């Protein structure tokens, strides 16, 4: 699955830390494609067990962190866990089948 990350239109270059929970019932390879995300900013990708994140050459992979995590099985429990762990959830998306996911990050 390719995860496309771009800032919202009102933000020229996104310069804030991000945390992503990438959960799947089966192990996946998450391919990351980014535009206009500042280098050197911490970005954390928690993935379900057996999954990996592949970064494009020359992007922010040096400041990104990937960690496998056992997530709650049901989406409601995953959302509750994320809110408890991080205090807020700004976006939650559930897809049954997808090759590309487009996410706008920003304020």
Kindly state the DSSP code that residue 56 receives in the 8-state scheme. P
pLDDT at 107: 66
Q: What are phi and psi of 29, to 5 degrees?
A: -100, 115
> What pTM value is reported for the model?
0.89
- Host domain of residue 56: 2-105
Sequential pLDDT tens for the chain (107 residues):
999 999 999 999 999 999 999 999 999 999 999 889 888 888 999 999 999 999 887 656 677 899 999 999 898 999 999 999 888 888 888 998 899 999 999 86
Kindly state the DSSP code that residue 60 receives in the 8-state scheme. G
Query: 19 in helix, strand or coil?
Result: strand
Domain count, the chain: 1
Q: What are phi and psi of 46, to 5 degrees?
A: -90, 125
Q: Where are the alpha helices (DSSP H) in the chain?
A: 75-86
Of 46, 49, 51, residue with least CA distance to 28: 51
pLDDT at 90: 87
Query: Tokens 């939650």 sit at which residue?
Result: 92
């Amino acid at each position: 699955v390719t995860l496309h990350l771009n800032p919202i239109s009102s933000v020229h270059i996104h310069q804030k830390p991000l945390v992503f929970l990438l959960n799947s019932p089966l192990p996946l390879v998450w391919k990351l494609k980014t535009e206009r995300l500042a280098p050197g900013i911490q970005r954390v990708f928690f993935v379900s067990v057996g999954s990996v994140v592949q970064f494009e050459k020359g992007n922010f992979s040096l400041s990104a962190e990937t960690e496998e995590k056992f997530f709650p099985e049901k989406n409601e429990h995953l959302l509750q866990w994320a809110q408890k762990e991080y205090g807020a959830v700004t976006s939650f998306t559930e897809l049954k089948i997808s090759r590309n996911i487009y996410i706008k990050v920003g304020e």
